[in-house]
Amino acid sequence: MPPAKTSYVCLPCRASYKQPYDHERERHCPRCARVMIHAGSAFQPPKRRDRDAWRALSVVLNAGIRFHKSCCGGPGWRPRTLREVKERTAYARRTGEPMARALLRYDLP
């Protein structure tokens, strides 16, 4: 059985590629040759022209959050807009909650 495919993302190019998962090997972007970030098998990229969505995605991926399938079939909620990222970042600073946990909150208290 072939290895499962997963998404790798190049943030500077705003590109995503499905490739077989191999935790021992770095993947490089075919456009710019930079190392890509493993985003997970349930990742759906925003449109390349949607710069704000890619900026929000950059914060999410750099916080260590990935898009893996869960028991219910999807990765769960992730912020998709800069506004959602800014609200959760401010909440994390205000409360001391870790950034990765705050970014995964659907609703803020």
For 48-99, write each residue's pLDDT tens digit: 999 999 999 999 999 999 998 866 656 778 999 999 999 999 999 999 999 9
**How many CA atoms lie less than 13 Å away from 100 in the CB half-sphere?**
7
pLDDT at res. 21: 86
For the entire predicted model, the pTM comes to 0.87
For 7, the token pair is 């998404």
- What lies within 8 Å, CB to CB, of 24 at 6+ separation is none
pLDDT at res. 82: 94
For 23-55, write each residue's pLDDT tens digit: 889 999 999 999 999 999 899 999 999 999 999
pLDDT at res. 55: 96
pLDDT at res. 77: 85
Print burial letters for 67-85: b (CB count within 10 Å at least 16), e (below 16): beeeeeeebeebbbeeebb
pLDDT at res. 73: 59
Q: Please measure the distance between the N-terminal and C-terminal CA atoms of the chain and give it in whole angstroms.
A: 46
